[in-house]
Amino acid sequence: MVVTTRSGACCLALLIAAQAGWAADRRVPEDYSTIQAALSAAVAGDRVIIAPGNYSENVTLRSNVDVRGVETARVLLTAASNQRPVVTIENLVNVLLANITVVDANSAVVVTGSDNVTIANNVFRGAADIAVRTDLASDVDIDNNVFFDNDVAITRGSADTLIKDNIFTANDNSISGLADFGDNNINVTFNCFFLNGTSNNVFGTNFQIGDPQFVDTAKSDFHLRQGSACIDAGSGTDGIDGTVADAGAYGGGFADASPYPVPKPVAADATGMAGAPAIDLTWQPNRAYLVSNSVTPGGYRVYYSRNTPGPPFNGTDAGGGTQASPIDVGNVTTFRLANLQLVTPTSNPPQLQSALPRDGAIVLSWTASNNAAGYRVLYGIGAVDENSVDVAVTTTHTVTGLVNGTAYRFAVLPRLQATYHTAVTVLDNTQNRHESALSPTAVLSIGPTTDGPRSNELVAIPSATIPVPDLPDEGCFIATAAYRSDSAAPVLILRDFRDRYLLTHAAGRAFVRAYYRVSPALSRGLDEAPRLRSVVRVVLGPLVAVALLLVASSAAAKGVLGVLVATLIVLRSRHNRSGVVGGGS
């Protein structure tokens, strides 16, 4: 007979689960909207993987569950409440917290009563109290982190907290604790110190004092520049380049190997200089020493696509068809995509949605067309294409210089050009050529421009009416006075009905002109008689309902409405005739 203890049963269950492949990566925010939600769903052996982004949470870790960021510099965690630690590790076993930047907390991480806890390759910046606190009963390894500009970087309750391979810079106090329990230098080794407060007197063994030369602390980029005192200053082997480990967040076995991405490149039309269609790309360099090394530099890749946004960036036409995306361009910060084979994209027609009258002007709005490099607004009195104006990539434009009281026809069409979407990545100088995430995309349209499909037409009449009440530049409408707002929903519905139905034919335009003549006096009367406004709103209610159905419903719904109205008319007519007959009998 085999007797199994509870702990033995748990270990056996974990082993079976691992062998059966039950352990899973819980991804944030792809699978779970918050880190804590992923932790709550996790079981022993799982990992919570956090994508780059800004997270505001107070999280409580779980035993046997690792929590790791995808990129240390771009997974930024702040406290939802500074009344609690950002990360709580309480009475746990077998926990890893790695590759996260914790910013501006009162207290970043607190560990109590926990064993086999590893806090590695994180950045702790701007803690107002203590970045990491451990208690007397905990066994913790604090490895390869950066502690920058904290009040106190680490307070530990016992020498069972091992502090090694970290960088301490600009902290008021780097390492405290153990005052009543022994020498605070015990189990402090291979750390790098620079510009910490005068009260700091704990260095341990095998330490370095010198400038770490971070790339850009304002952007949370704590990679090291060439000449840093913390390069090869750690213990063991570096997981990125296989040499002696660096101190700090980008050394050791859990180091995030991705270089920091470059900002959006600048794309410029170089056709005139190249003599053929070409684009010059320029970007800022990555200053990390594994990229900008003067002896063995890294490099960059250029990604591009024509007429379709990436990713994927699947362009094939650069260099006359010889340079498919991506292109390894070497250790440069500018590159020319030359001899491009321009193709004009296709596009869907925009939908002209509204044409709102103003004094001598009409405000147009429309839906966007795909692949539009800009738009052309058409307008005229007898024909819609009597006049035109080209505008940028937008969905609204005000046509000015119009004659009040005159009906104008409007339409919009997209302007189409070959459009290139470009991005850049960084490659380090290691054998694995670790690659950064893509930069933000730069978009540039070049070459000849053609007209895309035309929108529908709307008719509108500019007017110089005086609002009552005085609501600037919105026209004199009884509905505006009744609802006391030019942006009230019923007012907007009636305007849309006017633009889509009344202004599209001669009788409707005549009605609108007559309405403009009489409405100021009526609206002023409503403004002077508040009780009458409620009566007018009751009267307008059915009109607003019908207008809403007409402007917002489908053609089928409008057909049903027409049938209902016709039926009501017939029934009413029959009722009247029966009443007449009955009355005469």
Per-residue pLDDT reduced to its tens digit, 77-135: 999 999 999 999 999 999 999 999 999 999 999 999 999 999 999 999 999 999 999 99
Q: Using 50, 70 and 90 to split pLDDT, how confident is the model at 181?
A: low
CATH number of the domain to which 380 belongs? 2.60.40.10
Looking at the chain, the whole-number percentage of residues with pLDDT higher than 90 is 70
Per-residue b/e over 473-498, b at no fewer than 16 CB within 10 Å?
ebbbbbbbbbbebbeeebbbbbbbbb
Q: Is residue 236 part of a domain?
A: no
Per-residue pLDDT reduced to its tens digit, 495-510: 777 777 777 777 877 7
Asked if residue 209 and residue 106 are part of one domain, the reply reads: yes
Q: Is residue 159 part of a domain?
A: yes
99: helix, strand or coil: coil
CA–CA separation, 402 vs 362, rounded Å? 8
Please give the structure tokens belonging to residue 502.
Answer: 């009344």
Q: Using 50, 70 and 90 to split pLDDT, how confident is the model at 565?
A: low
Asked if residue 180 and residue 44 are part of one domain, the reply reads: yes
Q: Is residue 561 part of a domain?
A: no
Mean pLDDT for all residues in the chain: 86
Q: Determine how β-strand 279-282 pairs with β-strand 266-269.
A: antiparallel
CATH number of the domain to which 73 belongs? 2.160.20
- Looking at residue 503, what is its pLDDT? 72
In this structure, are residues 100 and 108 in contact, taking their beta carbons and an 8 Å threshold?
A: no
Asked if residue 493 and residue 434 are part of one domain, the reply reads: no
Per-residue pLDDT reduced to its tens digit, 513-523: 777 677 666 66
Mean pLDDT is lowest, of 249-258, 400-409, 461-470, for 461-470
- Looking at residue 477, what is its pLDDT? 54
Q: Determine how β-strand 208-209 pairs with β-strand 173-177.
A: unpaired
What are residue 10's phi and psi, to 5 degrees?
Answer: -65, -45
Query: Has residue 566 got a pLDDT over 60?
Result: no
Domain that holds residue 172: 24-224
Asked if residue 44 and residue 151 are part of one domain, the reply reads: yes
Residue entry with tokens 């489908």: 554
- Looking at residue 471, what is its pLDDT? 37
* Vertex 507 angle, CA 502 and 513, to 5°: 70
Asked if residue 439 and residue 370 are part of one domain, the reply reads: no
Query: Has residue 371 got a pLDDT over 50?
Result: yes
Per-residue pLDDT reduced to its tens digit, 196-232: 997 777 899 999 999 999 999 999 999 999 999 999 9
Asked if residue 204 and residue 109 are part of one domain, the reply reads: yes
- Looking at residue 546, what is its pLDDT? 77
Asked if residue 335 and residue 389 are part of one domain, the reply reads: no
With helix as H, strand as E and coil as C, how does 459-481 read?
A: EECCCCCCCCCCCCCCCCCHHHH
Asked if residue 529 and residue 413 are part of one domain, the reply reads: no
- Looking at residue 582, what is its pLDDT? 42
- Looking at residue 17, what is its pLDDT? 42
CA–CA separation, 214 vs 224, rounded Å? 5
Q: Is residue 501 part of a domain?
A: yes
Q: Pick from 459, 483, 512: which residue ends a domain?
A: 459
Asked if residue 496 and residue 393 are part of one domain, the reply reads: no
Asked if residue 206 and residue 175 are part of one domain, the reply reads: yes
Asked if residue 190 and residue 92 are part of one domain, the reply reads: yes
CA–CA separation, 308 vs 310, rounded Å? 6
Q: Is residue 544 part of a domain?
A: yes
Q: Is residue 585 part of a domain?
A: no
Q: Using 50, 70 and 90 to split pLDDT, how confident is the model at 361?
A: very high
Among 148, 145, 255, smallest CA distance to 211 is for: 148
Asked if residue 157 and residue 49 are part of one domain, the reply reads: yes
286: helix, strand or coil: coil
With helix as H, strand as E and coil as C, how does 103-144 read?
A: ECCCEEEEEECCEEEEEECCEEECCCCEEEEECCCCCEEEEC
Element (H, E) at 15: helix 6-19
Which residues, in sequence order, are CB contacts of 405 under 8 Å at separation 6+? 461, 462, 463, 513, 516
My answer on whether omega of the bond before 311 falls inside 30° of 0, hence cis, is: yes
- Looking at residue 291, what is its pLDDT? 97
Query: Has residue 171 got a pLDDT over 60?
Result: yes
Q: Using 50, 70 and 90 to split pLDDT, how confident is the model at 543?
A: confident
Among 217, 214, 251, smallest CA distance to 232 is for: 251
Q: Is residue 253 part of a domain?
A: no
- Looking at residue 538, what is its pLDDT? 76
**Which residue stretches of 424-529 are H helix?**
478-483, 489-500, 506-528
Q: Is residue 246 part of a domain?
A: no
Q: How many domains does the chain have?
A: 4
- Looking at residue 179, what is its pLDDT? 55
- Looking at residue 466, what is its pLDDT? 44
What mean pLDDT is predicted for residues 356-378? Answer: 95
| pTM as predicted | 0.74
- Looking at residue 474, what is its pLDDT? 42
Say how many CA atoms lie within 13 Å of 134 toward its Cβ: 27
**Which residue stretches of 157-247 are H helix?**
none
